[in-house]
Chains A and B, each alone.
Chain A
Amino acid sequence: MTNLKILFTVVATLAVFTFVANVIPQVQSAVPREIVLSADMPPEELAAIGEEIYAGAGGCTACHGLGTRAPDLLGVVGGVCATRVPGQSCKDYLWESLINPTAYIVEGFDPIMIDQSIVSSQAELWTLVAFLESQGGEITVNADDFAAALAADDAAAAAPPPVAVTDPSQLDGMAIIEAQQCLACHAIGGVGGQVAPPFEDLRGQDPAFIRESIVDPNATINPDYQAFAGTMSPALAQMMSPAELDALVEFLATGGVGSGAGAEAPGDAAEVPPDSAGGSR
């Protein structure tokens, strides 16, 4: 009898744990498929790859599909894309939405989407366009678009890497902020987005905290900006070199004083290239 009770206690405890672990959202980590893109892929295949990027590495679902932060795309965008800007084809509009999202702003939404060419290659972006077109419309992305994108990616990959600056004090924090499009969401000096804490708030804060907030934006969520938590992409930090990250953190923590050349001259030093922007990852 006692032995049975003991057995029951053990099994019941395990059952509770197993149950709890099974009712929470189940997220599996798939093996990232090496996406091999080639110009002669049929459109459906492009769209299928685009769908994978959309739901995965592209990070689009952080904003799209929740209904509040960004317009719903699935099933609709292929139907409305051709009507957004008079004279612009669906394909061109979608392409522009990705690389220059603020050119046309869907009514009722904030311009918080950043230029996706920072995190994805051109060929990947074309697969996204193909996928989006398939959501309510016809796929018109063709082999020429795609071949051109692949060639551009290859050229970018072959280009000599930007001279690596390893001394953070040689880098300009403001230029990095602009290149990384932080101002889509954050504001500095009253300029920029309103959906994230203004950078002035960071002045005097612990650099370690600022660094963490950039590398892992969701580690701590600023409660005043709960509504937009999750929108900041961790990919941004990965696009920066360690020295750039150091310079950026220093710039934000000191409010611009500590950073090197041209700290107070926004725009002047914009030649700091994001480390591997546009390269296929």
Chain B
Amino acid sequence: MKRRMTRGVVTRGVLLAALALAVALPLLAQAPGPDYGEFNFLGLDRRGAVWIAAQLHLLFAAFVLGVPMFAVVIEAIGMFGGDEKYDKLAKEFTRLLLVAYSATAIWGAILVFFLSTLYPRFWAYLTAIFAPSMWVYAGLFFLESFTLYLYYYGWDAWKKGAAKKVHWCLGIMLNIWGTIVMFIANGWLTYMMSPPEGLTADTAPQTVQLWSAINNATWMPINIHRLLANVVFGGAIVGAYAAYRFLTSRTDEERAHYDWMGYTGNLIAIGALIVLPFAGYWLGREIYEFSQQMGITMMGGFMSWLWIIQAFLIGILFLAGNYYLWIGMGRIPGAERFQPYIKWMLLVLVLGVIVWATPNTMIADRDEIAAMGGIRHPFLQVLGVMSAKNTAVNLMILTTFLSFLMYRRANKDPVVPWARAGTMLQGAAFALCAVVVVFYGVYGYFVTAIVRIGFSVYQVLAVLATILFVIGIDMAMLRGAKSRGEIRWGRMPDRSQYALLILAVTFTWLMGLMGFARSGIRQHWHVYEVIRDTSEQAFTPALGPAATIISICVLIFFGLVGVIFWLGGLAERSVYQEAEAEAKGAEGHAALGEPMPSPALGDVD
């Protein structure tokens, strides 16, 4: 019964999206009269409407693209490692996809509707260039949803032997379709940002080569950056789901499961986050290469404050991530040993965030200098220069790594004879690394700028080398280590789960902010330096108003995600059915307004 309900929502969403596309494409290719349609809803103008629809579509899309990537990996771990619990977890991830998928489709349809009615002329322009790829997009979308059904509903039917492998391949196909779909859509949006050379406002869209339009300067960098960001995002949302289920669960068994799931989601998110900056720098470089003007707008122009906010958000991610790990030590026997260090690590992190978010090198634009009434600030001046920032971020990464290490070590006592020496060696490596980082940080104040840039490379290398070296020792040292007891999954205070929630909200907001950055650097252009935005909303809003819209989007997103989690919970209750039934009886289900599901349903589902 639940299954039918879930599927109903999904089918409706897909149908709706298809309908809208089918109607919109042919209808609008014939450039209707006015350039812009009218829209006003509670003070929201046409740009706001498209903005919110696009952002929500993107958030759901990022989720349905990110989750299959690690669902497949986790399924493989279960399949080859033979541990049932991984398989269960992968399936649970996939269940979240079903409803999220229909939300993606519905928001996509709303977006198409808004675009085609509020920006009819520009929409006609885009369809004239991209129509074939739009059809492929819609087709793949269907293929993808079909694969998803097979993947999810076939889970238990194809559980053994070769059938399991086939099932796993379905998961891989799901990823392939999803990736192509995203790449196609990225082609449209990067075209607006970095159109191929030689286009002018008078170029007839029909004459633009489709492939040159898609394969533009920023297409690949954005593809890669988004691919990674989607994994981070998927991990974070899964973490939030687990946190939600943890907080509302009734049995210890359930709590243990969701504690573990939350931990895994968080690990995925943080792991992918560490690679993201590299992809980001590549994207940034390509933007500069495409247009120095655009690069300057992004990094130094009216947006430079955006990067300070980004630093602030990343600081919160670091703090919340570490905080979660530290609390997590409470459930590991033997972790008490490490408690005294935590306050110092916290101190390092907080100082790091402060230094990092201190504006100075960032104040760049003449307008801002005027807005701040001068560039000199006696205190900010010392902290704000690059040396200090690099030192801060490297120490923060080092500290986070130390948290992970303690976490890993907490319940183990190494048995190798050189354990003591090994630990001291690790400590020495940390100390040496910190000394190197701080040394170059301080020295950086006494050398010219270019030498200083070279220093930041030494700092990063020192941190990477330390991480590799220390992990190497750790793996050798903990081989056959004596356990002080198993991790007591589920024995987690509630506040840890709120940290996971804050992580997820922050990631989501960060994503909205960066989306604003991407779209905002086009300034008053629909297609950068080709098609002008002539509507009243052509100006680019300041960060304050932008942040308000982003917050609205995130709020709607979490509202809907809450419903999805709740549906996911309904469909799945029965996994813990027996235990729960004993603990709470029928009263729990009555509260949900649902008749008691038969115990077997969830497993078949």
Contact = CB atoms under 8 A, between A and B. Distances in A.
A27 interface: yes
B547 A223 contact: no
Interface in B526-576: 533, 538-544, 546-548, 550-551, 554-555, 558
Interface in B356-398: 360-361, 363-376, 381, 385-386
Interface in B295-322: 295-297, 299-302, 305, 308-309, 312-313
Interface residues of B, number: 67
Interface residues of A, number: 54
Contacts of B501: 6, 9-10, 13
Contacts of B224: none
Contact of A22 (B293, B313, B506, B547): B547
A221 B361 contact: yes
B505 interface: yes
Interface in A49-86: 55, 59, 61-62, 65-68
A238 B300 CA distance: 15
A80 B58 CA distance: 58
B366 A61 contact: yes
Contacts of B365: 27, 218
B368 A226 contact: no
B29 interface: no
Interface string A26-67: 111111100000000000000000000001000101100111
B559 to A, nearest CB: 9
B150 interface: no
A220 B547 contact: no
B538 A62 contact: no
Contacts of A275: none
A203 to B, nearest CB: 11
The B interface is mostly helix, strand or loop, or mixed, namely: helix
A267 B7 CA distance: 79
Contacts of B292: 215-216, 237
Contacts of A30: 539
B368 to A, nearest CB: 6
Contacts of B448: 197, 201, 205, 222
A25 B371 contact: yes
27 contacts: A3-B248, A6-B244, A6-B247, A9-B502, A10-B558, A17-B313, A17-B551, A21-B309, A24-B305, A24-B309, A24-B544, A25-B368, A27-B302, A27-B365, A29-B520, A29-B524, A32-B524, A65-B370, A66-B369, A68-B376, A197-B448, A216-B299, A216-B300, A219-B300, A219-B364, A220-B453, A226-B376
Interface of B: 244, 247-248, 292-293, 295-297, 299-302, 305, 308-309, 312-313, 360-361, 363-376, 381, 385-386, 445, 448-450, 452-453, 498, 501-502, 505-506, 509, 520, 523-524, 533, 538-544, 546-548, 550-551, 554-555, 558
User: What are the 6 tightest A-B residue pairs by CB atom distance, in nearest-first order?
Assistant: A21-B547, A218-B364, A26-B542, A22-B544, A205-B450, A25-B371
